[in-house]
Structure 1
Amino acid sequence: MSKKITDNQLLGEIGETAARLRFLKIGFQFDVRSRLEAGVDAIVEVMDNGVPLAQMIAVQVKARHGNAYASEDENGFTYIVRSEDLEYWRPSNLPVIIVLYRDSDETFFWKEIPRGSDDSERRLRFDKKLDCLDADAVDRLAAITVPKAGFGYYIPPLGRGENALVNMLPVTFPPEMYVAPTTHSAKDAGRILLDLDEPARFDWVMKSDTLWSFQDPRKTVCREIVELDQVEAIDTRHLAFHEDVHERNVFAHLLRRVLGHQFYKDLGWDKDRGQFYFKALAANASRSFSYKSSKQKASSAVVNVAMQKADPTRVSFVRHHSFIPRFENLMDEWFLVVNPNYYFTTNGFQPHSYPAELLAGKKRLDNSASLRGQLILWHRFLTRQDGSADDLFAEPNLEVQLKFGEPPEVHLATKVPEDAWGTKKAKDNGDDSTQAEIEFL
């Protein structure tokens, strides 16, 4: 009987060859071990632009022709490691990864083998996007070669890097502002304004017995709370860049109050958490914001109604896009720091009684792309009234007091691995805004 190479032998050789080519393409060395190997097919060396770093990874390749993986869907699948393999890999002095190759669609997925002693770790869950073996996996592969013991560790930057947006918008304010003495406290002044027939406005602050405002109080409803004959116009920079930090803090508070007044039709203020949020237009109704992104027209659901899973006819909660504002003075410029967040209500108007758990669940779903998208969304919204953004439905506002510039962009030496943002959780069925939020410059 003549000798014959089995299909499994051929498949194993195809898998190793394909894996070697894949690692070479992403810039790593791939050295196949001898035929005496018992569970490690090759040793991979991390390289940075062709420079070997003496950081090694043990690799075991598992190949198949075209069979589906266990529990496979469009998002991922499950793979069960053999007990004897796991027992062999655990004491390794090198990080061990398993690479799964499927010949029919030429897909590669990888996962680090856990070092613990729990048998439940035999079941590995692969994410088809996150665990794909391609150029985007370079930094994650390098990271597993760094010892995590001790007081800290450094993960070397690899790859081509990426551009990142700083969540700070330059602020431009009127060159002139008004100060006026008053005999009222801030609380009494607010009560007086609310009792008048004219709409009240609160785009002012009080320091001691002086009112600060960008609007001439003699021409607004604020004439009722100041000494009209002592109103004085001054150079805004005198207070904006005052040497006394307490004066600058009062000015920052004025900017926050002005921001709230400028967008009061669209934004509500959550005093408990210090954040602005998109108002709902009707009870239990979603709301979208349409704008022109850097590349194309976009629309994002800024108020989203989530239905109960057990009863799809009943509203579970309403989620509003929000941001926590902070005005900062850096050198000779003021910035609005935008920290994207979420606000929760029961019907769009009534605050939710237990928002912390909902917020934590939503935050686990955020990644760098969604946060970038939210920052761009807020910039487009905040600039739509002054004509600096091409909002599809912008309305002119003659009382624009604050204008906002583009967020600064910086170049990072390396891409931020997506798993650095937290563990990927199940999809949030109540959210239909993700697609519109992801935006790259």
Structure 2
Amino acid sequence: MAAADSHAYHPDMAKNITQNQLTGEIGEAAVRLRFLKIGFQFDVRSRLEAGIDAIAEVMLQGRPLAHMIAVQVKATKTGQHAGEDATGFHYLLRTEDLDYWRGSNLPVIIVLYREADDSFYWKEVPIGDAPAERRLNFSKKDDVLDESCVDRLAALTVPKAGFGYYVPPLGGGEEGLVNILPIALPKEVFVSTTPHSHAQAVAILLEDDEPARFDWVIKGSAFWSFHDPRKTVCRKIVDLDQVEAIDVEHLAYHEDEDERNTFAHLLRKTLQHQVRGELSWNKDRKLFYFRARAENTTRVFKYPSAKKNTEADVVNVARNKTDKERVEFVRHHAFVPRFESFFAEWFLVVEPTYFFTTNGFTPHTYPDALLSGKKRLDNSSALRGQVIMWHRFLASLEPKQDLFAAASEELRISFGEPPAIALPTRVPEDAWGSQRKTDDEDDDEDLLNWA
């Protein structure tokens, strides 16, 4: 009898494809079909992918737009998502995935597919300079991957950086507001030489008996300011015989980009001086925020809006839901300023945001989750209102014209109305996320749930 063939087939030696692998392949195929049905292209990457399964491309009536979205698919056969109930659930991102995605030059979304009920949910992943948050909260109403989310997905590919971004119109959709304010500049800039560095100049002013002022810049040995240093405490940090006034346009529109950058810095320092009684500057987050008047106390700013007089709680105290004496955090209206010049004019780009403290004065230790949660609640109406509010506030700081005012009233930079543009079509509200209308108190209660 012949010996048994040592290479004969044995069932135990066969290669097996695991159930998880099958589920993953089914999930990718199902998500690809879903994207195709809503009118997007969907190209699956190779097996060498490290955290992005596919690239979705936005199409307009079958025409590819070269607007791309990176997609990571997470598929499961059965079972519940974490914290799942009738309204939603949450998903915890892996730290290594989040670190990988944050370097992406494309918007990144995660799609959760469950084979048992053929459900698809999606969420944008915070990348770039966005606050790092591992926990994503999904709404079963708002975050379904179907035809209703096309505008929101497409909106992810529109950059909100540069000179300004469009704040979508309300109601009829005929007019949009741009978050830039034209700047009216003083006619002159005072320049001089100085023997001091910036740090040395600051120390000299702080040690002096006169009130210090810092609406100036020092670059190398050059001193720039919109105010005449010979008439203020700054005479102690400049060479007085070298002070001269020059036309502002010479520096504002200089050919050298470094000179224009220095001028932009001077604008920011001047604005900081003008608002010093009302706003604080946070150098870490590079933003202005409303000062609290007292510890754990709400502050209201009243101003004329687009149609009527209104008011905003620009400092809002969030208290514990069960223990009303306990303050969880204080939320301040804030904005990130950016000064840009184009078309022979300077503008202040206003990026509305929020700043969080523990009592109105001490910065909050963990503000990122609070900020991310609050911004998720903001819709186009909130953004539009904040741009208008900041313009009204900045305009309110201008010195009033008075025939009996002192002749020495210092010149200030002032701001024009944010420009409005006519839009051919209405920007859908759902492109800005949730349409739920809330007031600040409701928002802060939701933040307490997320924090």
Tell me if both proteins adopt one fold, taking TM over 0.5 as the criterion. Answer: yes
- In structure 1, give the amino acid aligned to 2:311: S
Q: What residue in structure 1 maps to residue 202 of structure 2?
A: 190
8 Å contact kept, 1:386–1:400 = no
Name the CA distance, whole Å, in 2 between partners of 1:271 and 1:145. 38
Tell whether the 8 Å contact from 1:304 to 1:431 is kept in structure 2 after alignment: no
Secondary structure, aligned partner of 1:399: coil
**1:366 paired residue number:** 378
Counterpart of 2:46 in structure 1 is none
The answer on 1:317 being equivalent to 2:329 is yes
Q: For each residue in 1:298-357, what CA deviation from the matched residue of structure 2 results, as whole angstroms up to 9, or x when unmatched? A: 111100000012322200000000000000010200000000000000000000000000
Q: Tell me, yes or no, if the aligned pair for 1:307 and 1:430 is still in contact at 8 Å.
A: no
C-alpha distance 387-181 of structure 1, shift in aligned 2 (>3 A)? closer
1:413 aligned partner? 424
Corresponding residue of 2:392? 380
After TM superposition, list the pairs within 5 Å mapping 1:100-115 onto structure 2.
none
Cα distance, 1:419 vs structure 2: 1.9
Q: Give the match for residue 50 of structure 2.
A: none
- Preserved contact between residue 165 and residue 410 of structure 1 (Cα < 8 Å): yes
Q: Give the drift of 1:398.
A: 3.6
Q: Distance in 1 between matches of 2:310 and 2:336?
A: 23
Q: 1:291 touches 1:380 (CA, 8 Å); kept in 2? A: yes
Question: Residues 70-107 of structure 1: CA distance to partner in whole angstroms, max 9, x if unpaired?
Answer: xxxxxxxx89xxxxxxxxxxxxxxxxxxxxxxxxxxxx
Secondary structure of the residue aligned to 1:357 is: helix
Q: Which residue of 2 aligns with 1:38?
A: none
Runs (5+) with no aligned partner, structure 2? 1-60, 63-85, 88-111, 121-138, 159-170, 402-407, 445-451
Compute the TM-score of the two structures, normalised by the length of structure 1: 0.61
1:418-439: CA deviations, max 9, x gaps?
2211246796774589xxxxxx
Between the aligned partners of 1:211 and 1:319, the Cα distance in structure 2 is: 37
CA contact (8 A) 1:301 1:432 kept: no
Please give the per-residue CA displacement for 1:139-178, whole angstroms capped at 9, x wherever unaligned.
xx986689x89xx99xxxxx96331110000001111110
Q: C-alpha distance in 2, partners of 1:212/1:188? A: 16
What is the CA–CA distance in structure 2 between the aligned matches of 1:202 and 1:248, rounded to whole Å? 19
> Is this contact kept in 1: 2:274–2:397, CA < 8 A?
no
Measured after TM superposition, the shift of residue 400 of structure 1 is 4.5
Q: 2:232 aligns with which of 193, 214, 220?
A: 220
The one-letter code matched in structure 2 to 1:280 is A
Answer yes or no: is 1:211 the counterpart of 2:223: yes
Identity of aligned residues (%): 54
Asked whether the 8 Å contact 2:290–2:334 carries over to 1, the reply is: yes
Q: In the alignment, which of 281, 286, 289 is matched to residue 274 of structure 1?
A: 286
Q: TM-score, with normalisation over the residues of structure 2?
A: 0.60
**Distance (Å, rounded) in 2 between the aligned partners of 1:205 and 1:261:** 12
The 5 A counterparts of 1:78-89 are none
Mapped partners of 1:145, 1:374: distance in 2: 27
- The SS at the match of 2:353 is strand
Within 1, Cα distance between the matches of 2:409 and 2:443? 34
Q: 1:387 to 1:198 in 2, by over 3 A?
A: closer
**1:238 equivalent in structure 2:** 250
Is there any run of 5+ residues in structure 1 with no aligned partner, and where?
1-52, 55-77, 80-113, 131-140, 154-158, 390-396, 434-441
In the other structure, the counterpart of 2:318 is 306
How large is the Cα RMSD of the aligned pairs? 3.6
Contact kept, 8 Å, 1:304 with 1:432, in 2: the verdict is no
**Matched positions, count:** 299
Report SS of the residue matched to 2:377: coil
